Amino acid sequence: MSEKFDDKRIDEALQLLNEVAKEKRAELLDMVAKKYGNLKSALGGTAEKLQDQAQKTYAEGKEKVQELASTLDGNVHKNPWPYLGGTALGFLILGFLFGRSRK
């Protein structure tokens, strides 16, 4: 009978621990939700600022690339021979390097 009594006490203790754990879990989840909400509101403004800055930097970079492409296009149209010669020389060197025997 002592064994049955011990099992009953252990079951009661486990049940009590489960109830306390459920209460503490709810409190912990509530606390995390509040802290997360504060963190989200604090970072919300920062995230928007970072996104705005990234968009501004992207637009500036895109504008500079377009200007560079336009300038390069104008230079190639005015005097194409140095560009054609440089391209041919580059491919000749690549052909020499890749075409060598590996033995």
Question: Cβ distance 66 to 73 under 8 Å?
Answer: no
**Where is 2: in which H helix or E strand?**
helix 2-78
pTM over 0.95: no
What are the backbone dihedrals phi and psi of residue 58, each rounded to the nearest 5 degrees, phi first? -60, -45
Tens digit of each residue's pLDDT, the chain (103 residues): 455 556 778 888 888 888 888 888 888 888 777 777 776 666 666 777 888 899 999 999 999 999 999 999 999 999 999 999 999 999 999 999 988 876 6
Residue 14's pLDDT is 84
Quick check: is 65 in a domain?
A: yes
CA-CA-CA-CA torsion sign (83, 89, 90, 91): positive
**In the block, residue with structure tokens 């968009």:** 55
Quick check: is 99 in a domain?
A: no
Quick check: is 95 in a domain?
A: no
Domain assignment of residue 72, given as a range:
2-78
